[in-house]
Amino acid sequence: MLLAELLDTSHLGLRLRYAAPGALERAVGRAVTTDLLEPGDYLAGSELVFTELAWRRSPDDSETFVGSVAGCGVTTVVAGTALFGPAPDDLLAACRRHRVTLVEVPADVAFVDVTDHVTSVRAAESGNRLSAGLVRQRELLAAMASGRDVQEICGRVAREIGHDCRVLTPTGRAVVAGPTELSETALDAITHQYLTADLLPAVATVGETAYSVFPVGSGLGHRLTGWLLAVDGDHRAWPHEQVDAVGDLAAIVALERTRRDERHRAVRPIAADALTLVESAAPQGVAATRLHQAGLDPDTTLVAMVADAGPLPADTATALVEDVALGVGPAVVATDRDGLLIALLPDGPDLVGRTRSAFQRLAPGLGRDDRLAVGLSGPTDLAALAGALDEARFAVRAARAGGTPVTVVGSDDVTSHVLLLATVPDEVRRAYALRVLGAVVDNDARSGTDLVATLRVFLGCSCSWARTAEELHLHVNTVRYRIERIQELTGRDLSRLEDRVDVFLALTSLG
């Protein structure tokens, strides 16, 4: 039931005092009656709020009341006139400021007459929607059973509701692409909303464009490895029938997700065997055959990727790396003897950049202690693939020192000093770092100072006092004091190249 239809109900005699933009085409939510001055904490945001204005003691109270209901998403207030007469001008002004529609109920019409009418119409619509939903589900299931792919089914629902539908993963990979390609900014916003929203569906906004984000399946699984529906438009302004249609589509897509997951699980043992053959220097023809069976063309130019997913569960980590790899093309993904995830990928334009963007989209969904370190080799052929794996392992060791939740390092990113440090055992690098900077680290821990962070920026700014102060939003004298304190604690003079190199390598090893 739309608000315009409620206002057109002649026997209720409702009077529209102010209509917010788009309000008349918005579906009416459940009716709630309140005379609390600040009822926002008790509302979900889609209600039709009825009030007799008993809360109003002064004109300022209107701003408080309307601000409270608008703050939780309520878009329509229905004011009674039986007790205090027509809605005062200050209430009308507050509704205009907050873009909340204001409707008046005549003195001779009881609230219960309006709420009963809303309830009965909504109940009838709910029954109709249930019947229509069952028919739609049967039709979509029949379409899938007859061999229609998920792309066709998404297109069918998109035409029905008038909104483009896309199926994405949290890395931004398009399982079902829409008629136009999404920008990187839009992908970042949609995946971020999916991973961080308290409740789904939610809305991601990019400029003036809104995307409704729906979970695929029950939504009880790990969002990092889930699928999502990104539908053009804001679902909060849609008729219930359109929201129901997207829900039905999500259920069908979940079946396709299950089917694809089963295929990936079946290929994993073959992929593991192919990796073993590559690393054991097996005859090239044997390794090529196994790679082909795992779905990868062994004659194409390949890139090795090594990922360390830290404390993430093994199944989750594998699914994430497989998802990123599938965004590149047909790939082989397996776990090596050290528990690292290995992917053999077909080379392509800006492979490192695309891989970095995909992994970094996962960062909002990681736990506080979760880390993803990823290293990629340069392009090679099958004959040199074992060397490419060694190169990617060097890169992943450099990525571990990145100090961010997600770090992706390509072979071109591994500078000479990082490559040198990557060859040094972890315990040696750590001991060296603490020997040079241990006193500074202890001082930060004991006194709550930011000496390590200041040092990192200072060296990154080529030891420029002014640039460091600007970067940290500090006075230059504060920077000078902190650097002098670091020199005192370390016994190093940062104006000397040798001491500066010592501190730089220790800071890099510290991570």
Q: What is the pLDDT of residue 168?
A: 97
pTM equals 0.61
Alpha-carbon distance 86 to 107, whole Å?
9
Task: Give the separation between CA 281 and CA 275, rounded to whole angstroms.
Answer: 10
pLDDT, position 141: 58
Find the helix or strand (DSSP H, E) in which 498 lies: helix 497-510
DSSP for 428-492, please give it.
HHHHHHHHHHHHHHHHHHHH---HHHHHHHHHHTTT-HHHHHHHHT--HHHHHHHHHHHHHHHT-
Length of the chain: 511
Amino acid residing at 431: A
- d(CA 511, CA 507) in angstroms, rounded, equals 7
Assigned token pair, 151: 């792309």
What is d(CA 69, CA 38) in angstroms, rounded to the nearest whole number?
7
Angle value at C-alpha 149, between 146 and 153, nearest 5 degrees:
95
What string of DSSP letters covers 173-193?
-EEE--SSPPPHHHHHHHHHH
Q: What is the CA radius of gyration of the chain?
A: 30
Burial 54-80 (b: 16+ CB within 10 A, else e): ebbeeeebbeebbebbbebebbbbbbb
Q: Retrieve residue 298's tokens.
A: 């062994």
pLDDT, residue 22, reads 86
> Residue 1 has what pLDDT?
76
Rounded to whole angstroms, the Cα distance separating 15 from 291 reads: 72
Tell me how far apart the alpha carbons of residues 334 and 272 are, in angstroms, rounded to a whole number: 5
The partner residues of 308 in beta bridges, in order of sequence, read: 373
344 bridge partner residues: 304, 332
Q: Which domains, from first to last, does the chain contain?
A: 3-118 (3.40.1390.20), 149-258 (3.30.450.30), 263-422 (3.30.70.270), 426-510 (1.10.10.2840)
State both tokens at 389. Answer: 């794996």
Reported as type and span, the H/E element at residue 2 is none
Residue 265 makes CB contacts below 8 A (sequence gap 6+) with: none
pLDDT in tens, the chain (511 residues): 788 889 999 899 999 999 998 888 888 888 899 999 999 988 887 789 999 999 999 999 999 999 999 998 899 999 999 889 999 999 999 999 999 999 999 999 999 888 888 888 776 665 555 445 545 556 565 656 566 678 888 888 898 889 999 999 999 999 999 899 999 999 999 999 999 999 899 999 999 999 999 999 765 567 999 999 999 999 988 888 888 888 888 888 888 888 888 888 888 899 889 888 888 878 888 989 989 998 889 899 999 999 999 889 988 999 999 999 999 988 889 988 888 999 999 999 999 999 999 999 999 999 888 889 999 988 888 888 887 888 888 888 888 877 788 999 887 776 555 555 655 665 777 788 888 999 999 999 998 889 999 998 998 888 888 889 988 999 999 999 999 999 999 999 988 888 888 888 888 777 6
Work out the end-to-end distance of the chain between its first and last CA atoms, rounded to an integer number of angstroms. 58
What's the pLDDT score for residue 73? 87
Query: 217 — alpha (psi -120 to 50), left (phi > 0) or beta?
Result: left
The burial of 47, by beta-carbon neighbours within 10 Å (0-12 exposed, 13-18 middle, 19 or more buried), is given as buried
Contact partners, residue 467, CB within 8 Å, separation at least 6 = 461
Neighbouring CB atoms inside 10 A of 482's CB total 20
Distance CA 296, CA 330 (A): 6
Give the per-residue pLDDT at 131: 47
